[in-house]
Amino acid sequence: GDSVTQMEGPVTLSEEAFLTINCTYTATGYPSLFWYVQYPGEGLQLLLKATKADDKGSNKGFEATYRKETTSFHLEKGSVQVSDSAVYFCALRRVNDKLIFGTGTRLQVFP
Amino acid sequence: NAGVTQTPKFQVLKTGQSMTLQCAQDMNHEYMSWYRQDPGMGLRLIHYSVGAGITDQGEVPNGYNVSRSTTEDFPLRLLSAAPSQTSVYFCASSQGATGNTIYFGEGSWLTVV
């Protein structure tokens, strides 16, 4: 069946460091891909999305490119801030808008 | 502009008690769903609905009931709470078209003691 695999955390970085959170997927066809973010004590927010191969989603300095050949959707940011500390979830959408999530990656950014 | 509204935000239940988590959306979305979030497991689908009067099971439906009598509301019922149902619950809604956004509520933190 379809699945999403994320790198395990926590990822610990200093402010202004470069961030990569790996996400790979297994799916039939070409599902839409998403990154959601959950700040401490809050709900899920859509961070970015891509609906077809080679699409690049971007928001708030974060980027991810839908790579069909490597079945990946890695999240990147050039310079992280303390305020980016959160849990990040990669997800794919299946029929009837059902989402399959990765296990989440906790990011901790220190000043 | 309420979006997806979940209530309550926090709840403590005793084992065996029943309760209903409420979810309402004001965007006239056809698709609604419930997920639970557990440490190290991400979010897993409990039940979903593609329209009023239509529901189906997701990955982890046991112990939960749902109904969809209106487009706006999609309540999740725990008939006899168990400690294994301690979790954070999220409701989501969407229009069901390619490229559209799936919106989430702010979550309901449930503890069963």
> What percentage of chain A reaches a pLDDT higher than 90?
84
Chain A residues inside the 8 Å CB shell of B31: 96-97
pLDDT at residue A1 in the model: 85
Average pLDDT for B49-75: 96
Distance from CA of A71 to the nearest CA of B (A): 19
Q: What is the pLDDT of residues A72-92, one digit of tens each?
A: 999 999 999 999 999 999 999
Encoded tokens for B108: 């309901």
Tokens 């979010």: give the residue.
Answer: B43
Which member of A45, A89, A98 has the closest CB to residue B45?
Answer: A98
Q: Is the peptide bond before A10 cis (omega within 30 degrees of 0)?
A: yes
Degrees (nearest 5) of the Cα angle B72, A32, B91?
30
Whether the Cβ atoms of residue A94 and residue A104 lie closer than 8 Å to each other? no
| Average pLDDT score over chain B | 94
Q: In chain A, whose CA is at the least distance from the CA of B105?
A: A43
B1 pLDDT more than 60: no
Tokens 């980027």: give the residue.
Answer: A63
Distance from CA of A81 to the nearest CA of B (A): 23
User: What CA–CA distance (Å, rounded) separates B103 from B66?
Assistant: 19
> CB distance from A45 to chain B under 8 Å?
yes
Which member of A42, A98, A101 has the closest CB to residue B42?
Answer: A101
Q: In chain B, whose CA is at the least distance from the CA of A104?
A: B42
Q: What is the pLDDT of residues B90-100, one digit of tens each?
A: 999 998 776 67
Question: Could B102 and A34 be called an inter-chain contact, meaning their C-beta atoms sit closer than 8 Å?
Answer: yes
pLDDT at residue A23 in the model: 97
* Helix, strand, coil fractions of chain B, as percent rounded to 5: 5, 50, 45
Q: Which residues pair with residue B112 across a beta bridge?
A: B13
Between A7 and B36, residue with greater pLDDT = B36
pLDDT at residue A103 in the model: 94
